[in-house]
Amino acid sequence: MIDELDSVVLTHDIEEHGLKQGDVGAVVHCYKDDSAFEVEFVTAEGRTIALLTLTQADLRPMADREILHVREFAAA
């Protein structure tokens, strides 16, 4: 289950926004019946890269034993 303010992991690249599979975003809104989610992706400095409407097929919850990884963002 995905809730507002959860950290989620992108399951595939979204090239038009420079996002890669494995990038971490924050859920800022859940639509009725969890049909879609507004997810914000930000840089380490807090600058918003993208605010996207995504479905459960696009996301997965973070697992307890995962480790975060940093990469340089190359704007699309």
Predicted confidence at residue 74, as pLDDT, reads 81
pLDDT at 34: 87
Domain coverage including residue 32: 7-61
pTM for the structure as a whole: 0.92
Inside any domain, residue 25: yes
The answer to whether residue 33 sits within a structural domain is yes
Q: Is residue 12 part of a domain?
A: yes
CATH assignment at residue 39: 2.30.30
- The mean pLDDT value for 46-73 works out to 95
**pLDDT of 71 above 80:** yes
pLDDT of 76: 58
Residue 26, domain member (yes or no): yes
Q: State the Cα–Cα distance between residues 2 and 18, nearest whole angstrom.
A: 23
Q: What is the pLDDT of residue 31?
A: 96
Domains held by the chain: number: 1
* pLDDT one-digit tens code per residue, 3-50: 999 999 999 999 999 999 999 999 999 999 889 999 999 999 999 999
Residue spans of beta strands (DSSP E) within 1-76: 7-10, 24-30, 37-42, 48-54, 59-61
Amino acid at 13: D
Q: Which residue has the tokens 């480790």?
A: 67
Residue 14 belongs to some domain of the structure: yes
